[in-house]
A and B are shown apart, each in its own frame.
Chain A
Amino acid sequence: MNFRFSGRKISGILTVLPANEVPFEAEIANYSVSPAKSMKLKLAMGYNKHRIVAGDVCASDLCVFGLEHLFAEGLLKKEDIDALVLVTQSPDHFMPATSNIIQGRLGLKQDVLCLDISQGCAGYEIGLLEAFLLLGQESIHKVVLLNADVLSRKVSRRDRNSFPLIGDGASITVLEGGAADSEIYANVKMDGSRADALIIPAGGFRCPSSPETGAMVEDENGNLRAKDHLVMQGDAVFNFVQVEVPPMIESLLRSAGLPPDAVDYFMFHQPNRFMLHKLADKMKVGHDRMPANIVENFGNASSVTVPLAMTFNLGDRLTRERLKICMAGFGVGLTWSSVLMDVGPLEFCGMIDYA
């Protein structure tokens, strides 16, 4: 599904990460694999340390903290927020919507549209799409897109496949109307028939949580996890990314009438360095134009990795320059999405820690 917009822009991006940073070495004892093998995996996959929440910190906590920072710095006014879109797969409650909870905690006006969108890896692009669609309404001048997840709380600490890579975090992206001088192109594809490639089997209504779903079971690779925990078929996801993502980007660039060289940066979702480097090689894009440094520094915080790749790698530059950026997300759903747009100069583009 192709989308096209004009007259919209991102005016600021802030990422919020838990201050709690845990190095891989501190967790090696949890895995049933030998330390030597674990270190080999660390090198190949590119994990090193990750930011994970301590205790019962929730997605709304990270979002409220970030928004209060923006209010305090005079970068955003409460009364200007016309729509609050939260993309998360770790909501505070089944009900009410977490965006409603955030609205209540911040005392936002009643005339604000609050929407929770349940998407993950491709959630930044899907959130952007939603914001762009909303900005088509005369009454909506400013949309705040929140992406937030605390999925470390749903990954088994004994799962060497997933725990070293997982990260927690939130991002706040402010969107509003802009000059009509550049087009935004986007593309989304879905394949729910492969939904079991990345799933948290229990805890919803299909398979409610019970003592059985909390029991740890060992898989053929020696990883232990419960049905309440996230489980990923690494090979299925790897193949999916290699097969589906390059043609999606090609098609996006074609619809924009632009060659790959016209893109300044490919800010892609960061599952792990191995996958991203293989993808860059397949697309014949240099590793310098497709940063793959988020997992090793912060972990994979689902849809937050895309804005984080921008604030971490381009923070200062995006407040001064205008760059053509191709964003893409791929994973849980399965979903894959991409957005090609000019970003910058932004009013703010930074990172803060939640303690």
Chain B
Amino acid sequence: MDYDRFYASLAEILEVERVKDEDIFRQFDCWDSLTKLSIIALAGSEYRTVLRAKDLDAMETVGALKAHLEKNGL
């Protein structure tokens, strides 16, 4: 997995300069249904993982998403 690209893509979606594993999704200003959909789209197109909104809701942090993609995707 290309970790640089993962963090860069997430930072773009979350509208910040950079993200870290400890960052909590719900604390981002732009955390809404569109942001979630953009992450779902990213999971599908880059990591061949089908992510449901409820799966994403269960992931508190950037690190949790990363772990899920590592397990299930590329």
Contact = CB atoms under 8 A, between A and B. Distances in A.
A and B co-occur in one complex:
yes
Contacts of B45: 242, 278, 281-282
Given A242-B44, A278-B41, A282-B45, A235 B32 contact: no
Q: Is the interface of A mostly helix, strand, loop or mixed?
A: helix
A234 interface: yes
Interface residues of B, number: 15
Contacts of A37: 32
B33 A274 contact: no
Contacts of B37: 234-235, 238, 274
A193 B32 CA distance: 28
Interface string B4-32: 00000000000000000000000000101
B40 A221 contact: no
A119 interface: no
Interface stretch (A38-46, A179-187, A258-266, A306-314): A38-46
Interface of A: 33, 37, 40-41, 44-45, 161, 221, 233-236, 238-239, 242-243, 274, 278, 281-282
A221 B50 contact: no
B1 interface: no
Contacts of B44: 239, 242-243, 278
A242 B37 CA distance: 12
A45 B34 contact: yes
B74 interface: no
Contacts of B33: 161, 221, 234
B52 A239 contact: yes
A42 to B, nearest CB: 10
Contacts of A44: 34, 38
A40 B38 CA distance: 13
A278 B50 CA distance: 14
19 contacts: A37-B32, A40-B34, A44-B38, A161-B33, A233-B53, A234-B33, A234-B37, A235-B51, A235-B53, A236-B52, A238-B40, A238-B41, A239-B40, A239-B44, A239-B50, A242-B45, A243-B44, A274-B37, A278-B41
A235 B52 contact: yes
Contacts of B32: 33, 37, 221
Nearest to A43: B34
A19 B37 CA distance: 33
B11 to A, nearest CB: 17
B38 to A, nearest CB: 8
B35 to A, nearest CB: 10
Contacts of A41: 34
A239 B53 CA distance: 10
Of B41, B50, B51, most buried by chain A (CB within 10 Å of CB) is B41
B71 to A, nearest CB: 18
Contacts of B52: 235-236, 239
